[in-house]
Structure formats: C-alpha cells, structure tokens
Amino acid sequence: MVNGVQSCELDLTVPWLRKGTIEVVLAAKRGEIVDSYGITYDISNRKWSSEQYALMLKPDSNFDDIMDLIRRTYRANKHTKK
C-alpha cells in the first residue's frame, strides 16, 4: 500500500494487458470505421456486444493517427444515434 492506495500487479498473461501501455476500446462494430493506419485489432471475442475495435496506446504511438480514429468513431456513433 502506497499513500493509502493499494497497489495491484498487472496480469501479463492477459493478452491485451501490457506494462507501459493503455488499451483504447473504440465503440464501433466491424465495418463502421476504416483503419487506414492498421493500428486497430479485433476484440469481438470479448464479452462486450458493441465494441469490436481496440488499439494499444504506447509512448511511441502516433497520437495524430490515434486521435483521427477516435474522431472517426465519434462521428460514426453520432450519425447512427440520431
């Protein structure tokens, strides 16, 4: 425990958890966004019903590409929710 906060260990046996990374899950079904950068991967085998894309955010990631995909996902969801 550090400063009253219990620390936890990362379970590195889980394929999408890696030290020094953050997984960004995009709320989009397959075919709703086009990943022209090739940085997303399929997570349709997980228990979530609507999210089928994710990407790994690392210190050396191209943040402009990631933000572009997040914007595209937002726009796709905005148009489908009207």
Given a cut of 80, is residue 70 above it in pLDDT? yes
Between 38 and 81, the more confident residue is 38
Given a cut of 90, is residue 25 above it in pLDDT? no
Q: Where are the domains positioned within the chain? A: 22-80
Q: Could you tell me the pTM of the whole model?
A: 0.66
pLDDT in tens, 7-16: 444 444 455 5
DSSP string, 4-59: TB------TTSTT--TT-EEEEE---TTSS--TT--EEE-TTSS-SS--EEEEE-T
Q: What is the pLDDT of residue 1?
A: 45
